[in-house]
Structure 1
Amino acid sequence: MKHLADLLLLGDPRLYETCEPVLESELPLVSGWVADLHSVMEEIRAKYQFGRGIAAPQLGIMKRLIYLNVDRPQVIINPEFVSVSDETDELWDDCMSFPNLLVRVRRHRNLTLSYRDENWQSHIWNITDWGLSELVQHEYDHLNGVLCTMRAIDAHSFRWRPTPDTN
């Protein structure tokens, strides 16, 4: 079982690599990978009070796999954007791989995603909720070796997050 200490941090070269698709023959491995992703996400939530999604490469699993846990656990295998809206919004993005840094980025307001679930069933997800849309884009970027630091709006788009024990 992987733990917080296994999380790749900003500067680790693996975070900048493009991930390989999950093969159907690797499906038996997915439940173990998801358990690791869930475990590390729970540790981040306990320590930093944030975390709704995590991508496999953040644990050195160089596969196209995302684990979300917003209202319920959700496994997204081999996601692809079908379409993205022209409309965008800005937000202060955060990342488990640099938990104390916030980065101002611009993301698409809506998107449509194709993916497979943990049972290898195909899905099309039309995401119109801004919070989910920006989250999926953030995690999808990880699969392509793109960090939100690389999407900063400008040189002034960085700030420190107050630590949870700071008032």
Structure 2
Amino acid sequence: MKTLADMVLLGDPRLYEVCEPVAEADLPQVAGWVADLHNVMQEVRAKYHFGRGIAAPQLGIMKRLVYLHLDGQPIVLLNPELSDLSPELFEMWDDCMCFPNLLVRVQRHAALTVTYRDAHWQPQSWAVQGAVSELLQHECDHLDGVLCTMRALDAQAFRWRP
């Protein structure tokens, strides 16, 4: 079982890699990956008091897998793809488990649709807005090797969180 000590931290080259798709043949491993993601997210919540989602590469699992835990509900997204990005944008302070004390001012789309396969390999589509929209953008960026530090609004868009 992976723990917070296994978190891939800012500067690790794996954070900048594009992840491989999850194949149907990988399904027997998905439950173990999700358990690891859930466990580490709970540790982050306990230590840093944030965490609604985590992407597999944050634990060195270089697969297109995102795990969300929203309102007590676990959501597994395999091979998520974002579409229908709203033209409306909003600014926010983004945080990341890979650099938990750093906040980054970014712009995100206010709404979008995500298509993905669930943990049973069934195709799903989910239209979201607001906080869930920005969360999915952040987590899906991880799958493409993009960090919120790379989306900073400007050179002053960084804040330390004690």
Q: Structure 2 length normalisation: TM-score?
A: 0.98
What is the RMSD computed on CA atoms of the aligned residues?
A: 0.5
The CA deviation string for residues 70-98 of structure 1, in whole angstroms up to 9 with x for no partner, is: 11110000001122001000000000000
Q: Which residue of 2 aligns with 1:21?
A: 21
The answer to whether the aligner puts 1:104 opposite 2:105 as a matched pair is yes
The answer to whether the aligner puts 1:145 opposite 2:157 as a matched pair is no
CA offset at residue 40 of structure 1? 0.3
Amino acid at match of 1:125: W
Secondary structure (helix, strand or coil) at the match of 2:84 reads strand
Secondary structure (helix, strand or coil) at the match of 2:58 reads helix
Q: Which residue of 1 aligns with 2:123?
A: 122
Secondary structure (helix, strand or coil) at the match of 2:141 reads helix
Distance of 1:123 and 1:51 partners within structure 2: 23
Q: Percent identity?
A: 68
Distance of 1:126 and 1:10 partners within structure 2: 30
List, as ranges, runs of 4+ consecutive aligned residues in structure 1 with deviation greater than 3 Å. none
Distance of 1:144 and 1:35 partners within structure 2: 22
Q: Which residue of 2 aligns with 1:47?
A: 47
CA offset at residue 24 of structure 1? 0.2
Distance of 2:84 and 2:37 partners within structure 1: 27
Q: Which residue of 1 aligns with 2:12?
A: 12
Amino acid at match of 2:158: F
Equivalenced residues, count:
161
Distance of 1:40 and 1:126 partners within structure 2: 27
Secondary structure (helix, strand or coil) at the match of 2:142 reads helix
Secondary structure (helix, strand or coil) at the match of 1:84 reads coil
The CA deviation string for residues 35-90 of structure 1, in whole angstroms up to 9 with x for no partner, is: 00000000000000000000000000000000000111100000011220010000
Q: Which residue of 2 aligns with 1:3?
A: 3
Q: Structure 1 length normalisation: TM-score?
A: 0.95
Distance of 1:115 and 1:50 partners within structure 2: 25
Q: Which residue of 1 aligns with 2:87?
A: 86
The answer to whether the aligner puts 1:113 opposite 2:114 as a matched pair is yes
Q: Which residue of 2 aligns with 1:165?
A: none
The CA deviation string for residues 22-41 of structure 1, in whole angstroms up to 9 with x for no partner, is: 00010010000000000000
